[in-house]
Amino acid sequence: MTKAPSFSLQSDTNQTISLKDLAGKKVLLFFFPKAGTPGCTTQACGFRDHFTELTDHNATVVGISPDSPAQLAEWKKQAKLPFMLLSDPDHRVAEAYGAWGERSMFGYKYQGIIRSHFVIDEHANLIQEERKIGPKDSVKKGLKAILKSS
């Protein structure tokens, strides 16, 4: 099995969170382009709506974007998200996971977050990798992978 890339990032509560802090739990790690945007809200709220089911299966959810900890904290409060959000302003972690690359909007190409999620087991092994996935499919497939791995 492939090991998940390690990371250490600032959270929405200004704490430094590392992958090793989550050892012993499954982690549904999702990358999203921008807090508060429609697709990102659909994805995050989908995970929120299944959060109890995920925690019942020894899993947690962690969202990562380039947004600042303050922006993430505000969105977390507005959307009533029960999980932590991490700030990756220089996109190092997104790059390590292959969740940073070329995107396009209205014919304009640019570098940015590629909506993705990764399911990591209790020993930091990647058990599912989904890149370029729609918000609703991310929730459906991520939840299925967690339940299947239990």
Query: pLDDT (tens digit, 9 = 90+) per residue, 99-117?
Result: 999 888 788 888 899 999 9
Strand partners, 16: 10
Residue 2 lies in a domain: no
Q: Is residue 1 part of a domain?
A: no
- Cβ count near 136 (within 10 Å): 12
For the chain, counts of helices (H) and of strands (E): 5, 9
Considering the domain boundaries, does residue 3 fall inside one?
Answer: no
Q: Catalytic residue positions?
A: 40
Total domain count, the chain: 1
CATH of the domain at 46: 3.40.30.10
Judged against a pLDDT cut of 80, whether residue 42 lies above it is answered with yes
Average pLDDT along the chain: 95
Residue 45 belongs to some domain of the structure:
yes
Backbone angles phi and psi of 17, in degrees to 5: -120, 130
Q: Give domain status of residue 125, yes or no.
A: yes
Range of the domain at 16: 8-148
